């Protein structure tokens, strides 16, 4: 064996990257209200904002795109998509949606009512927003090991099964319409969930007669990490591990923009025909007929191919190793990160990176601004801007449990030299960390405020002019 792990693909089409200067970027980020979501992507050098919908499709997927059949009803593209999802995951009813959050909205509309409680290891922001929009409570029950960002514990994405048991005893089954596991746990540092934990969660749910769902968008990466880290799985294929986890569940939501490596698409799946019927009724209202669900036939073809490509072990080996490479190098340079590295991203720990800033100073925002200005690298804050909230009456900021900056790695897009550049940029910002400034929000929306908020540095000229 050789020690160099190569990208297991060749590149046959390229997209130029415009190399902007730090001076240009200083102006651009200020015009963007210090919010990286407001930047134009052509002004970004390495875009690690998300791994969602940003992957490079394969030649087989592009061939699928050409084969797409755009019939309104009964398209063969739908049947190829449905066959692929059934084959990989084993769920009987498969409902296409334009992306993961549409699947979430339909699922919670059908299953939840006001006053309900939905437990999850950690809700992703859109999942939380969709639960709350229904008037229900989104309850995060991460395992206690997640609190220590430095330990080697291999499955910090796990749910605290004791707390789940308590939740099902009080408030009780009548108010808990379903429980969910997010694999991997994106808001909790991209950490994997072990099969043992999924099995324990499924068992508690079954005993209380509560449906158990997976938020499955990164289930292939989670399965690869199980294969690497969990006793008894080294010799099982990733496809088998994925199926074993799905076999524990009653259904799933899936953003296919992650592990199915497509630019748009998702689905909702269940074993329950009565639930599926209600979901399809809602689907027709807002997404489309059940054989396309807001997608083009060509998109369904790309998902059908991507469902299998995401399970390819040479690809997963390269992907997980390259994420690990970024994590290892940053840690070695003394940069505090969520340890161990997960599948799709490295999470910088902003509390330890900038200990002079309080959560209400938005240290993660400050870091995203610097990473962009210094090197044109776009990461995303997953901290008090994204997951905290402002009390409508007192105006007081409620901080998030963690202050993280996520560097998410698009699938099959960047090579090792791009990652080496990112290591240099992050290390440079870390060397100058005392200069990181506090930020405050000047404009925000009532839901999912991180997408559109405008901020300013505390003590800036514009702030003092107010
Ligand atoms: N669940 C998880 C765990 C996610 O990470 C996402 C999206 C969704 C659901 C929603 O799916 O975007 O297709 O509607 N995560 C992206 C991210 C946006 O950057 O992590 P979607």
Q: What's the domain count of the chain?
A: 2
Q: Are residues 327 and 449 located together in one domain of the fold?
A: yes
8 A C-beta contact, residue 337 and residue 330: yes
pLDDT at 463: 44
User: For 258, which DSSP code?
Assistant: S
Q: Are residues 294 and 387 located together in one domain of the fold?
A: no
Confidence tier at 280 by pLDDT (50, 70, 90):
very high
Cα 122 to the center of its chain, rounded Å: 11
Is 219 a member of any domain? yes
pLDDT at 460: 65
Q: Of the residues 309, 325, 341, which one is the last residue of a structural domain?
A: 309
pLDDT at 293: 96
Ligand 1 geometric centre to CA of 434 (Å): 33
Q: Are residues 255 and 337 located together in one domain of the fold?
A: no
pLDDT in tens, 85-117: 999 999 999 999 999 999 999 999 999 999 999
Confidence tier at 465 by pLDDT (50, 70, 90):
very low
Mutate to test the pocket of ligand 1, among 124, 184, 378 (most ligand atoms within 8 A of CB): 124
Q: Are residues 252 and 346 located together in one domain of the fold?
A: no
pLDDT at 356: 97
pLDDT at 446: 83
d(CA 252, CA 385): 28
Closest atom, ligand 1, to C-alpha of 182: 3
Closest atom, ligand 1, to C-alpha of 184: 3
Closest atom, ligand 1, to C-alpha of 187: 3
d(CA 343, CA 320): 5
Q: Are residues 402 and 303 located together in one domain of the fold?
A: no
Tokens of residue 85, six digits: 């999802």
Confidence tier at 395 by pLDDT (50, 70, 90):
confident
pLDDT at 85: 98
Q: Are residues 171 and 220 located together in one domain of the fold?
A: yes
CATH code for the domain in which residue 410 is found: 3.90.1150.10
Confidence tier at 125 by pLDDT (50, 70, 90):
confident
CATH code for the domain in which residue 285 is found: 3.40.640.10
For residue 227, give the nearest of 246, 242, 214 by alpha carbon. Answer: 242
pLDDT in tens, 17-36: 999 999 999 999 999 999 99
Q: Are residues 305 and 319 located together in one domain of the fold?
A: no
Q: Ligand 1 atom 16: the closest Cα is on which residue? A: 52
CA distances (Å), 321 to each of 5, 69, 127, 228, 342, in order?
A: 8, 37, 29, 11, 10
CA distances (Å), 388 to each of 77, 190, 293, 359, 415, in order?
A: 41, 19, 33, 9, 34
Q: Of the residues 291, 309, 327, which one is the last residue of a structural domain?
A: 309
Q: Of the residues 309, 332, 362, which one is the last residue of a structural domain?
A: 309
Confidence tier at 396 by pLDDT (50, 70, 90):
confident
CA distances (Å), 449 to each of 7, 102, 407, in order?
A: 37, 19, 20
Which residue segment(s) compose the domain that 117 sits in?
59-309
Q: Are residues 185 and 227 located together in one domain of the fold?
A: yes
Cα 73 to the center of its chain, rounded Å: 31
Is 371 a member of any domain? yes
pLDDT at 5: 86
H/E element, 456: strand 454-457
pLDDT in tens, 260-273: 999 999 999 999 99
Q: Are residues 248 and 370 located together in one domain of the fold?
A: no
Ligand 1 geometric centre to CA of 237 (Å): 26
- Give, in degrees to the nearest 5, the angle at Cα 203 between 200 and 209: 145
pLDDT at 237: 98
């Amino acid at each position: 064996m050789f020690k160099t792990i190569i990208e297991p693909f060749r590149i046959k089409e390229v997209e130029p990257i415009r190399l902007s200067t730090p001076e240009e970027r200083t102006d651009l980020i200020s015009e963007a209200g210090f919010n990286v979501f407001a930047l134009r992507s052509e002004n970004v050098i390495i875009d690690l904002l998300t791994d969602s919908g940003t992957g490079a499709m394969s030649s087989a997927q592009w061939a699928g795109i050409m084969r797409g059949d755009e019939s309104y009803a009964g398209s063969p593209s739908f049947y190829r998509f449905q066959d692929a999802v059934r084959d990989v995951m084993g769920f009987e009813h498969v409902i296409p949606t334009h992306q993961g959050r549409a699947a979430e909205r339909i699922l919670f509309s059908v299953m939840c009512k006001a006053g309900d409680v939905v437990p999850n290891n950690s809700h992703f922001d859109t999942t939380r927003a969709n639960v709350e929009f229904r008037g229900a409570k989104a309850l995060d029950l991460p395992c206690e090991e997640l609190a220590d960002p430095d330990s080697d514990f291999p499955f910090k994405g796990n749910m605290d099964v004791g707390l789940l048991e308590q939740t099902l005893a009080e408030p009780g089954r009548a108010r808990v319409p379903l429980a969910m596991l997010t694999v991997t746990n994106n808001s909790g540092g991209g950490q994997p969930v072990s099969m043992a934990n999924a099995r324990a969660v499924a068992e508690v749910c079954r005993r209380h007669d509560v449906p158990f769902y997976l938020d499955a968008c990164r289930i292939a990466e989670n399965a690869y990490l199980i294969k690497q880290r969990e006793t008894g799985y080294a010799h099982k294929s990733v496809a088998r591990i994925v199926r074993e986890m799905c076999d524990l569940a009653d259904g799933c939501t899936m953003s296919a923009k992650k592990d199915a490596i497509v630019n748009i698409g998702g689905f909702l799946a269940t074993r329950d025909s009565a639930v599926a019927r209600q979901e399809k009724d809602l689907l027709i209202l807002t997404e489309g007929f059940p054989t396309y669900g807001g997608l083009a036939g060509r998109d369904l073809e790309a998902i059908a191919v991507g469902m299998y490509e995401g399970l390819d072990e040479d690809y997963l080996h390269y992907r997980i190793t390259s994420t690990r490479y970024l994590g290892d190098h940053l840690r070695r340079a003394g940069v505090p990160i969520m340890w161990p590295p997960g599948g799709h991203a490295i999470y910088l720990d902003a509390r330890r990176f900038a200990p002079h800033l309080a959560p209400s100073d938005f240290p993660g925002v400050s870091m995203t601004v610097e990473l962009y200005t210094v090197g044109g690298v776009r990461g995303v804050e997953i901290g008090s801007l994204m997951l905290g909230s402002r009390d409508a009456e007192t105006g007081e900021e409620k901080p998030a449990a963690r202050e993280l900056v996520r560097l998410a790695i698009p699938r099959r897009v960047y090579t090792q030299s791009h990652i080496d550049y990112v290591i240099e940029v992050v290390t440079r910002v870390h060397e100058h960390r005392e200069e990181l400034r506090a930020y405050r929000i000047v404009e925000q929306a009532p839901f999912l405020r991180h997408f559109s908020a405008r901020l300013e540095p505390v003590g800036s000229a514009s702030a003092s002019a107010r």
